[in-house]
Amino acid sequence: MKKVNEMVTRSYGRYPEKILQFGEGNFLRAFVDWMIDGLNEKGEYEGSIVLCQPIAGNEKIKRSINGQDGDYTVIMRGIENGEPREKTHIVTSVSRCINAVDDYAELEALFRSPDLEVIVSNTTEAGISYHEGDLLTDRPAQSFPAKIAQLLYERYRAFDGKGHGLLFLPVELIDDNGYELKRLVLRYASEWDLPEAFIRWVDEEDKFTSTLVDRIVTGYPGAQIAGLWDKLGYQDDIIDTCELFDLWVIEGRPEWASILPLTKGIGNVIWTDDVKPYKMRKVRILNGGHTSTVLAAYLAGHDLVLDLMKDEVFRKYLSKLLYEEVIPTIPLPVSELKDFVHAVEERFENPYIEHKLLDISLNSCAKFKTRCLPSLLSYYEIKKELPACLTFALAAFIRFYKGDMREGEMQGVRQDGSSYPIRDDKEVLAFFESAWKEGSERAAEKILSNASFWDMDLTQIPGLAVRVSDHLKRMETERIEEIICGLTE
């Protein structure tokens, strides 16, 4: 069977290497590189992408990418307009893959190239961080920001400080990712006593955006690969699978958008002067929708997100929670928010993704604080009453954390009597175990008043402790589905 690169003719994709991407993993290839390839295909851009492993990396994936001339298949699967849909796209805009350690000379050469315009990065949340002891003379420095400081200085000298600044599009999952990267680059420049003119050049010529990304990427479909090769009619050792949905929100100056005109391509890209409302939308609707439902659904006997979406009781509960209780708390147009909720519902219904509720339950204490509590508090502030579904979600979270330590692991009990592991920090689990020994009413009061969890005493919200305690008492004798039905009538 022929390889993918033997089956495609590049009518585009032999363009100058304008984009350097730190990260060769599944997410970037099924998200950023897919978008850029679509931009090339539509004739809106003419640039190739160099993938760079930011640390001593996986030699196998590097060989596979280069062995296929950078070509690979993205398979997108999910629900669209209520029906299962599958789309296939062959990406041909990747020119090669290098490694920041093994191929540092090639990396420096790229930064001296007048063709280079854009830097994309996904070095994990820990990647944009400071590492004491990195030096300008290291080849390369250990931290990612120090590498960028080194390489920007190389570029600055190559062009005598005259223009040629770069556009930075980091996708690391931290707040203000681009601004944090710039701050650390400038910190290293100062520590290394680099010229003031270079520091001004970084500040004025280089363009650091902050971004928000959203797409579930399931990666290489190992168990299905033989069947997919037969279906496609070629061999592809780095097939990448993902959901249909995509969203990239980029915060930067309007004039920067023309450098890489992603809004003219195939992806759902929003260029804005403020990414925060879109992050709030994602966290409160997508992530909050998960955390508000999965714990109760798991206790009731469901194992997958798809299972709870097939249960009309939970589907109705999720819909009421998102449309009636969460949407009013987000400062974006209601029609836009409703469209996003509809997209989230279709994503939760995706039959191609086995999203386990127990996996989502990991560290739910911190998740509830960031994903759900802000909606509950905002709703109360706006409406002057407690939101029924979000209040129940808080009670379901507390009930999920009812357990005992057995052989070093906290174990809870589902509605059917089966046990499950409760996974969180040891201090959190110890507190919940102690609180629950005093009964549901006292447990609710102790947990809600723990300001180390919530940064406030939640018992000060009128009626909240009583409502949560009532739900917990009912869960001792009634089925969760019955309680939920009473909330959604």
Q: Which residue has the tokens 């915060």?
A: 251
Domain end residue (candidates: 241, 272, 303):
272
Tell me how far apart the alpha carbons of residues 70 and 80 are, in angstroms, rounded to a whole number: 29
Do 332 and 242 share a structural domain?
Answer: no
Q: What are phi and psi of 247, to 5 degrees?
A: -155, 130
Quick check: helix, strand or coil at residue 342?
A: helix
Do 286 and 186 share a structural domain?
Answer: no
Do 320 and 182 share a structural domain?
Answer: no
Domain end residue (candidates: 272, 301, 335):
272
Per-residue exposure over 348-384, b if at least 16 CB sit within 10 Å of its own CB, e if not: bbbebbebebeebbeebbebbeebbbbbbbbbbeeee
pLDDT along the chain (489 residues), means of 10: 92 90 97 98 97 90 97 97 95 97 97 98 90 95 97 98 97 95 98 98 98 97 95 97 98 98 97 97 97 98 97 98 98 97 97 95 96 98 98 98 91 96 95 94 96 97 97 96 95
Tell me how far apart the alpha carbons of residues 91 and 33 are, in angstroms, rounded to a whole number: 7
Q: At 280, which CATH number?
A: 1.10.1040.10
Do 416 and 352 share a structural domain?
Answer: yes
* Predicted TM-score of the model (pTM): 0.93
Domain end residue (candidates: 272, 296, 326):
272
Do 54 and 86 share a structural domain?
Answer: yes
Do 398 and 466 share a structural domain?
Answer: yes
Both tokens assigned to 412 = 């809870």
Tell me how far apart the alpha carbons of residues 198 and 204 are, in angstroms, rounded to a whole number: 10
H helices, E strands: number in the chain = 23, 16
Do 241 and 198 share a structural domain?
Answer: yes
pLDDT at residue 354, rounded to an integer: 93
Do 199 and 280 share a structural domain?
Answer: no
Which strand ranges, in their side-by-side order, compose the sheet holding 409-413? 403-406, 409-413, 419-421
Number of domains in the chain: 2
Q: What are phi and psi of 373, to 5 degrees?
A: -60, -40
Quick check: helix, strand or coil at residue 88?
A: strand
Cβ atoms within 10 Å of 393's Cβ, excluding its own: 29
Domain span including residue 427: 276-488
Do 484 and 439 share a structural domain?
Answer: yes
E strand or H helix that includes residue 80 = strand 72-80
Do 286 and 264 share a structural domain?
Answer: no
